[in-house]
Amino acid sequence: MTVTYTILLAGFFCVVVGLQVLSCALVVWRLRGSDPLQVPGTHPPLSVIRPVCGLDTYLYETLATSFSDLAAAYEVIFCVAESEDPAIPVIRGLIADHPEVSAQLLIGVDAISGNPKLNNLVKGWAAARHDSIVIIDSNVLLPRDYVQTLFATWHQDTGLVTSPPVGIQAKGIWAKVESAFLNTYQDRWQMAADQLGKGFAQGKVLFWRRDILEAAGGLAALGRDLAEDVASTKVVRAAGLKVRVVRRPFPQPLGQRRFGEVWSRQLRWARVRRDGFPWLFALEPLTGMILPLAVVTTLALVGVVSPLAVPLFLCLWYGTELLVARQANWPAAVADVLTWIIRDFLILAIWIGAFAAKGFVWRGNAMQPPPMQTAE
C-alpha cells in the first residue's frame, strides 16, 4: 500500500469517525441536565389536527394524548378520509370522553396534491379556528405538556417546530431495529443539525403559524415534494426562517414489526431524502459503521495500525451512541447495541436500493416526485 493511499484512507477514517463523535457530543450537550421549559406566561390558542387512517396498534393510547390540561387554550380536529374507516368509533369515543375540550371529527377528501395525507388534512386546516396550528400523526404519543413544549421551542426566527419520533415499546428484533433507525440514528442527526441551526422538518409533528404556510401557497405547497416534511423544510428556509426541533422528541410506540415492513419503510424514507436533498443523501453511506470499519480493517491487515484498532474503533463508534441513548433515556441495553449493528449493515443496502426507483407505494397510493417546473 502506497503512502499516499494510506494517508487518504486514514484521513477518510478520521473525518467519518469525527463526524460520528461530533454528532453524538452535540446531542449529549443538548440534553444535559433537566432545565425546565421556558414557557411564556401566555401564548396564543392552538389548533391540533390529527390525520387518521385505519386502526394502528396503539391508536386509542396515542390519540388520547391529544387532550392536554390546557382545555380552554386549544381545539382538536381529527381528520379521516373514508366514512367506513374503522378508527371512527375510537375517535368518537375519545371526543365523548373529553367534553371539556373543543374537539370534532371531519370526514372526506379534497384532492389538492398527490399526497393522500395532505388531501385528508385540507378540511381540518380550513376548519381550524386559530392561527397556531400543529399537525400530528395519529401514531405519536404526546407528552402531557406537549402544547407548552411546542410554544417554548418557537423563537423569533422560527418558521416551524417539529419533532422526529422516538421508537418505544418495540416488540421483537425487527421492531428494535426500527427503533435503532429512529433513535440513535435519525433522531440523533436531526437533533445535532438543529443544534447547529440547520433543523429539518419531520412529518410526524409540524407546528405552523398559519400566515407562514399560507404565504407559500397553503397546504398545497407541501405537495411539491415526495413528502410534506421535505417541502416544509424548503418553505421555511425560503422564507428566511428556521425549522426548530423540540429539545426531547416525542415518542412513537412501535409494537411488533416484520423485516419487510422495516425495509419498505426505510426504503421509502430514503427515496424521499434522495429526491428532496440529493447532496445530503449522497453522503449517507458515511453515517454508518460499515465504510470506516472496512478502512480500519484494511489498515490493520496491511500492518499500518494494530489489529486492536478494530475493536477500539467499534467501542468508540457505539460507545458514543450509547452515551446519547442513556442521556436521552432511550433504549440502551446490550441487545439494543446489537440492533444498531444490524441497522448499520442495512444503511448501505437501503442507500443502494433507493436508486432502483424514484417513487414508492404508501398506503396503496403510488407516490412519484412532482414533475419539474419549467420556465415559460
Question: Per-residue confidence of the chain (376 residues) as pLDDT tens digits?
Answer: 688 888 999 999 999 999 999 999 999 999 986 555 555 557 789 999 999 999 988 999 999 999 977 766 789 999 999 999 999 999 999 999 999 899 999 999 998 888 899 999 999 999 999 999 999 999 999 999 899 999 999 999 999 999 999 999 999 999 999 999 999 999 999 999 999 999 999 999 999 999 999 999 999 999 999 899 999 999 999 999 999 999 999 999 999 999 999 999 999 999 999 999 999 999 999 999 999 999 999 999 998 999 999 999 999 999 999 999 999 999 998 889 999 999 999 999 999 999 876 654 545 555 556 654 433 3
Rounded to whole angstroms, how far apart are CA atoms 227 and 282?
A: 18
The pLDDT of residue 362? 47
pLDDT at 10: 93
CB 351 within 8 A of CB 284: yes
List, in order, residues 6 or more apart from 338 with CB less than 8 Å away.
Answer: none
Side chain identity at 272, as an amino acid letter?
Answer: V
- Output the pTM of the full model: 0.91
Closest CA to 338 of 322, 349, 351, 316: 322
DSSP annotation string for 181-228: HIIIIIIHHHHHHHHTT----BTTEEEEEHHHHHHTTGGGGGGSSSSH
Give backbone dihedrals phi and psi of 106, rounded to 5 degrees, phi first: -115, 135
Which residue carries 417546473 as its cell? Answer: 373
Strand 242-245 and strand 158-162: pairing?
parallel
**Residues 259, 108: Cα–Cα separation, whole Å:** 33
Predicted pLDDT at 37 = 54
The alpha helices in the chain, defined as continuous H runs, are 3-31, 59-64, 88-97, 116-127, 146-153, 173-181, 188-195, 210-215, 228-238, 259-276, 278-282, 290-301, 309-328, 334-353
Contact 230, 201 (CB under 8 A): yes
- Nearest to 179, CA basis, from 246, 243, 117, 265: 265
Describe the crossing of helices 290-301 and 334-353 by its angle, rounded to 10 degrees: 100
Cα separation, 152 vs 163, whole angstroms: 13
Question: Which residues, 6 or more positions from 188, have their beta carbon under 8 angstroms from its beta carbon?
Answer: 23, 24, 27, 321, 324
134, 207 Cβ separation under 8 angstroms: yes
DSSP β-bridge partners for residue 251? 166
Q: Is 45 exposed, middle or buried (0-12, 13-18, 19+ CB in 10 A)?
A: middle
Which domains does the chain show, CATH number per domain? 16-28+276-360 (no CATH), 44-256 (3.90.550.10)
CA-angle at 142, arms to 41 and 274, nearest 5°? 110
Contact in structure between 247 and 164 (CB atoms under 8 Å) = no
* Biggest alpha carbon–alpha carbon distance for the chain: 75
